Each structure stands twice: as structure tokens, then as C-alpha cells.
Structure 1
């Protein structure tokens, strides 16, 4: 092994580095489980409560290359007798993003990052509902890309009206 060279280094020397993404951490920002009518509401066998779900995503800059992406999730289970439970969870992650083109930054923070976080949020929701005395609430996957596009369309319509 006489002469070893790093052929790849010379080839990429004049090219911009690719996007670099690092997950710095994940965290529960806020968690609330309200069980207001425990023992008061009787659900008959075969009946299912109505469960209303709400999902929102937000992002903010924490430092020069560090951003936080967070999912705000609310589940409200109700029955004819009233509210069974309300679960509110704000789950976030810190990400170091380098060499991400400016036009790709917002979609990345509001689509890709929440997609990485969602399986962990899903597990927390299932665990909390189970520990609250109910069957685990297993969430279906969320299409954060479609959510982002819908929000963009809503913002465009609002801008047109003004």
C-alpha cells in the first residue's frame, strides 16, 4: 500500500456541501390529560366514543443553525353523557440544519421534522390514554406534507381577501 489518496476529497472540494441534518433532542413541551367524568359516564358494550383530533405544527429558530419543530396535538373523547377525556400534548425536537436552501427550510421544518417526531408522539398518546384508564388511542399516520399544503392554500386565500 504505497500511495493512498482520498480521491473523493478533491472531487468535492469546490462543490457546496450537501444538506446536513442532526437531531439534537426530542422533548415533551407540555402534556395534559383531563379525565373530568371518570366513573360518571357509562359506555355500553359495542359503543364507541367520538374522538375529535386536532394536529398543528410550528417551528422556530433557536440559534444560528438550530431550530425547533413542534407538534401540538389534542384529542377529545366524548359520549352522549359528556366529555370522557381531553389529552393535549406539545411534542418538539431540536434540529441542527446546515446547508439547507432557504426555500426548503420552511417545508423541512414543518413536514420532515414532524414526520420524524410523530412516532414518538403516537407512543406517548397511546400510553397516556391507557394509563388514564381507557383503551390506548393508536393514531393513524399524519400526512404532514398535505397539512403543510392545506395551510399554504389557506394563507394564500386569506392574503387574496386583504
Structure 2
């Protein structure tokens, strides 16, 4: 890994792909009827990274969610959207931020389109997931790790 002194910082997306996609419509066809009230929607977001070469990393953007609950469940989804990124001339102290903030930010529009299509293909209007603040998620994760480190 370059130390940041040998050229301009460079981030390159080499590939983006669906690693795993699950869509469930457990109460169809009843769930496809018009709803009197909007469903409760829950979303969980997770980002993982691992090195796969000297300058290359795989990023996993994991989105899990549901619309409705219990007998009123409309749909559930799990998407593991992957990407391979090359980082060059990025200082070591910034690599984690680039991997956990910038890479998923670049992947998000594509993952959102996969989900919108899956929900639409399940018989519902496209589900347009709102933009995610990956910087805020990263900061919250770092604070959680710091608190956990202090308690051990």
C-alpha cells in the first residue's frame, strides 16, 4: 500500500455485483391489495470490508428490511451488494474511512435500484430507499467501538 506520498489519491471501482438477494412476499396475494394505512417500514444497514489484494478491497453493503409486521407483513428483503475497489496513494490513516464511507456511498444507487426492482417485481410500487449517511454510520460505529474498548 502506498503511503500517500507517491502521487494523487485514487479510488477506482473495479466491480459491483449482487452477492445475495432475498425477497419474500409471504402474504400474497392478500398483501397486494390496497392498504388503508402505510406499513411500518424497518431498515438495517451494515458495511463490511476485507482486503483481497495489495491495493484491492471487497466491500459488502448489506441492506435488510421489511414493510409491515406479523400478519400484516407485506414484504421482507435482504440484499448483500458487493463491490471491489482499488485504493492507491491513500494515507493509511484514511483507508478505513474511504472503505466504510466513500465506497458504500458509490455503491448505494446501484443497490437501491436492485431493491426497487425486486419490490416492483414482487407486485408492489418500487421501494425508493432514502439516501444513507455513511459518514454518520461510520462515526457511530467508531464511538461504539471506543465505548466497548473502555468497558473491557
With the length of structure 2 as denominator, give the TM-score of the two structures.
0.91
Q: Please tell me whether residue 139 in structure 1 is matched to residue 126 in structure 2.
A: no
Measured at CA, do residues 41 and 123 of structure 1 come closer, stay the same or move farther in structure 2, by a change above 3 Å? closer
- Residue equivalent to 2:114: 124
Question: Residues 47 and 100 of structure 2 are in contact (CA less than 8 Å); yes or no, is this contact kept in structure 1?
Answer: yes
Between the aligned partners of 1:18 and 1:78, the Cα distance in structure 2 is 48
**Unmatched tracts of structure 2, length 5 or more:** none
- Residue equivalent to 1:39: 29
Structure whose CA Rg is larger = 1
Question: Residues 76 and 87 of structure 1 are in contact (CA less than 8 Å); yes or no, is this contact kept in structure 2?
Answer: yes
Between the aligned partners of 1:30 and 1:139, the Cα distance in structure 2 is 18
Compare relative contact order (CA 8 Å, sep 6+) and give the higher one, 1 or 2.
2
What's the offset of the Cα at 1:42?
A: 7.2
**How many residues are matched?**
148
**Unmatched tracts of structure 1, length 5 or more:** 1-14
Match of 1:30 among 20, 23, 28: 20
- Runs of 4+ in structure 1 deviating by more than 6 angstroms, as ranges, are none
What's the offset of the Cα at 1:45?
A: 4.4
Measured on the aligned residues, the alpha-carbon RMSD in Å equals 1.6
With the length of structure 1 as denominator, give the TM-score of the two structures.
0.85
